[in-house]
Amino acid sequence: MISQKAEHIIEETHKLMNPIVVGTASHLKGAKVVYKIDDALKERKLTQKQLAAMTGMRVATISELVNGKGTNVNYVQMLALMAALRLTSFEQLFEIRLPEEMEEQFKRESEYWKKTKEKRSRLFKVYGTVS
């Protein structure tokens, strides 16, 4: 299992993204993206080359995903990986782990929004004006 800091991923791809997307994603600095494809391969005694053949993806793409180098994965690729490896959840491929304090804050804010239907104005200052 390999993990990568969210800020590294953001830095690597920020030039290709809308600045608002980058700004919003930057709120997850401190989080980690955990790549679990290698674990699934080992459990099933499969090689990267075999997974590439099963999914139709390039071996280099599989290698990048296994090693946390490939940051752009589309839904069709995720579905192909899940089908080939017989996985039942996206989190068996990749997982985003928030620092404990951030996770608790997000839970509190989410519950507050659901309960009150109120928007948090300080966040909309960051994200732009939304009504």
Verdict on whether the full-model pTM lies above 0.85: no
Q: What is the pLDDT of residue 109?
A: 85
Higher per-residue confidence, 16 vs 38: 38
- Domain boundaries of the chain, sorted by first residue: 2-97, 99-131
Count the alpha carbons within 13 Å of 15 in the hemisphere toward its beta carbon: 1
Q: What is the pLDDT of residue 23?
A: 83
Alpha carbons 118 and 81: distance in angstroms, whole number: 39
pLDDT digits (tens, 9 = 90+) for 56-106: 999 999 999 998 886 678 899 999 999 999 999 999 999 999 999 999 998
Domain 2-97 has CATH 3.40.50.10490: no
% the chain with pLDDT above 90: 52
